[in-house]
Amino acid sequence: MEKEGQTPATFPVAPLRKKVLARDIGVIAASFVLMALFIPLHWVIDFTIFCILVLSFDLLYGFMGRLSFGHVLYYGTGAYVASLMLLHVSRNPFLAIAAGVGAGAILAIVLGFIVLQTDGAPFALINLAFNQIGFWLAASGLQQYTKGEDGLNTPVGKMGFLDFANQPIAFGFLLICLLLVFLLLRVFTLSPYGVTIRSIKENDDRVKFLGYNIFTYKWLTFVLSSTLAAFPGTLFAIFYGFVAPTIISPFGNVEVIFAVLIGGAGNLYGAIAGGVVYKLMSNYLATNITRWEMVLGILLLIWVFKFRRGLTGYASELILRVKRKQAAEV
């Protein structure tokens, strides 16, 4: 990480090599295709949607260092707006996606000016408060539109070959969406802008002293992260054809946070790995154990304490040890 004398201008940045990026995209795509051969396809589709949500949260928490307990608010907003769009305006899935993502962006633009007046625990809790308000609106406050606990059934039209009722086709589309989000965030985090937000995470007072408007950087990053969170919400609504208040419940934030911690915060590969591992654990436990929530909680605690830097951090340390051992032998 950043040393004492470094500034955003000298923060180490890995060059974005097209060959490396193409390799990484290929590895991620191949991994999800292989998973689809060995486990139920609807599980892999669920993993894909969830990983996009985890990637969006990792931008806010892992790269900028702001822990939010309200990230699911934008996920649920995207899902509900997309569902209402499909139900009352058009069955075109692309219009529904655009409406849901746009609604998430507008909400983030407005709330960002409020929540970013705070840091640390107040930031986390004020986001939780807004998430609770959103959950109440979905469950009770706007029940005439959301149907409350009964949920919304959303009919989705077929667009050419794209038929979301066909799981293999839906999986291919969602996998492309995941790869595009990964590519966007990979380019973004390695750009000078990405360097600045990582510097803000390390020491925002120093960045401010250098003349940067850190509020603007934090606000733009918050808006991008929240907008990307709305995107998988729209995909969930389109694929499953049903949305209920549980999708916007504040408890959903715990899943996203644990997924980032499992994979390793501040690492896009870790976000995907953590999302997959968390979903695999929860799905298999729910299928085979009655009181699976308790077992999952114990496993997550053990995992977080054992691998404090997540899967990617542990893998990096392991590779470094092997290289040192090889160098010592030579």
Q: Measured between alpha carbons, how far is 6 from 143 in angstroms, rounded to an integer?
A: 53
- pLDDT at 298 (0 to 100): 84
Mean pLDDT on 86-93: 90
Q: Which of 163, 140, 159, 160 is nearest to 150 (CA)?
A: 140
301 has a pLDDT exceeding 50: yes
Q: What domains sit in the chain, N to C, each tagged with a CATH number?
A: 18-329 (1.10.3470)
The pLDDT-based confidence of 212 (bands split at 50, 70, 90) is confident
Whole-prediction pTM? 0.89
12 has a pLDDT exceeding 70: no
- pLDDT at 174 (0 to 100): 95
215-234 pLDDT tens trace:
999 999 999 999 999 999 99
Q: Where are the beta strands (DSSP E) in 70-227?
A: 152-153
Residues above pLDDT 90, as percent of the chain: 55
- pLDDT at 330 (0 to 100): 64
Which of helix, strand or coil describes residue 242?
Answer: strand
The pLDDT-based confidence of 286 (bands split at 50, 70, 90) is confident
210 has a pLDDT exceeding 50: yes
34 has a pLDDT exceeding 90: yes
Four-CA torsion 177, 183, 186, 187, nearest 10 degrees:
-130
Rounded (10°) angle between helices 18-38 and 268-288: 10
- pLDDT at 190 (0 to 100): 87
Mean pLDDT on 302-313: 77
Burial 187-208 (b: 16+ CB within 10 A, else e): ebbeeeebbbbbbbbeebebbe
91-135 pLDDT tens trace:
889 999 999 999 999 999 999 999 999 988 999 999 999 999 999
141-174 pLDDT tens trace:
899 999 988 889 888 877 777 888 888 999 999 9
- pLDDT at 157 (0 to 100): 74
